[in-house]
Amino acid sequence: MGNADPIARRLRDLGFVRGETIKLVAQGPVGGDPILVQIGFTRFALRRSEAARVRLQPAGETA
């Protein structure tokens, strides 16, 4: 996530950081927007444009 991107910065502040497990919980009915993801016990509804700022890595892989 870029440092100059205010949405990416806010996502980091909310807990979207390296090493955290993110679980996809649900997707919206039209085009899959928004999506519902969970970090720990907290759930977030994200637009796909916001979620695109998060880099994912399959569980068990190392960077």
What's the predicted TM-score (pTM) here? Answer: 0.78
- DSSP helix/strand/coil, 48: helix
Give every CB contact of residue 29 below 8 A, 6+ residues apart in sequence: none
Omega cis (within 30) before 29: no
Q: Which tens digits make up the pLDDT trace of 6-61?
A: 999 999 999 999 889 999 999 998 888 899 999 999 999 999 999 999 888 887 77
Give bridge partners of residue 38 from the DSSP assignment. 23, 43
Domains of the chain: 6-51 (2.30.30.90)
